[in-house]
């Protein structure tokens, strides 16, 4: 099926309608490898306080492994905060989807659903049939969810029962992680 009335959604050297080694591009855009939240000074004070309390508890109870884990988490948060997320190409093809270098044929995807509550929540989820993760979240960025839904309905079932974002996504947004 040709979608001639669609504009190029994002240009990475290839355009909607062109063929890749996996199939014809129906939609494409770039997504950040992770969401970088703005953190206030209050956030750092509260999280630092929690970290210090946990570290003291680990040392008092002689749980050195827990103390090392707390220090590692603090280092990871610090390094993560001083780095910008890379942009990853996401493509919807007539044979599956591509996220960065990873190709998911439609036979590995069980369904999809869209959680769209702008401006904070704009996420497309795919159910995975054979993976450790049960769902694959893709941020829609500035894409029109109606067009994306229309494309995917040709290849996957939409799960209309799922209306909320994944728990880990909402916790990450709540705690700005």
pLDDT digits (tens, 9 = 90+) for 167-176: 777 777 677 6
- pLDDT at residue 111 greater than cutoff 90: yes
Distance CA 99, CA 133 (A): 15
Which value, to the nearest 10 degrees, does the dihedral of the CA atoms of residues 76, 169, 112, 10 take?
Answer: -60
- pLDDT at residue 67 greater than cutoff 60: yes
Give the mean model confidence (pLDDT) for residues 140-156. Answer: 94
Band of the pLDDT at 8, cuts 50, 70, 90? Answer: very low
The per-residue pLDDT for 49 is: 96
Cβ burial of 4 (10 Å; 0-12, 13-18, 19+) is exposed
Higher pLDDT, 139 or 163: 139
- Residue pair 32/139 in contact (Cβ under 8 Å)? The answer is yes
- pLDDT at residue 133 greater than cutoff 60: yes
**Pairing mode, if any, of strands 135-139 and 121-128?**
antiparallel
pTM: 0.73
- pLDDT at residue 3 greater than cutoff 50: no
Residues with Cβ within 8 Å of 34's Cβ and at least 6 positions away in sequence, in order, are: 85
Give percent above pLDDT 70 in the chain: 88
pLDDT in tens, 24-65: 999 999 999 887 878 889 988 999 999 999 999 999 999 999
Arithmetic mean of pLDDT over the chain: 84
Band of the pLDDT at 177, cuts 50, 70, 90? Answer: low
Distance CA 17, CA 26 (A): 6
């Amino acid at each position: 099926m040709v979608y001639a009335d669609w504009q190029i959604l994002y240009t990475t050297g290839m355009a909607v309608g062109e063929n890749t080694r996996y199939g014809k591009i129906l939609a494409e855009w770039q997504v950040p490898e992770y969401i970088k939240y703005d953190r206030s000074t209050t956030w750092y004070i509260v999280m630092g306080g929690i970290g210090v309390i946990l570290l003291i508890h680990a040392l008092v109870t002689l749980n050195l492994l827990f103390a090392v884990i707390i220090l590692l988490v603090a280092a990871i948060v610090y390094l993560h905060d001083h780095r910008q997320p890379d942009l990853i190409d996401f493509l919807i093809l007539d044979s599956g989807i591509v996220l960065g270098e990873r190709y998911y044929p439609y036979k590995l995807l069980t369904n999809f659903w869209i959680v769209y509550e702008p401006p904070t929540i704009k996420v497309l989820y795919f159910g995975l049939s054979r993976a450790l993760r049960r769902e694959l979240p893709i941020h829609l960025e500035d894409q029109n969810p109606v067009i994306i839904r229309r494309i995917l309905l040709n290849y996957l079932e939409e799960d209309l029962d799922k209306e909320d974002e994944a728990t880990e996504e909402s916790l990450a947004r709540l705690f700005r992680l």
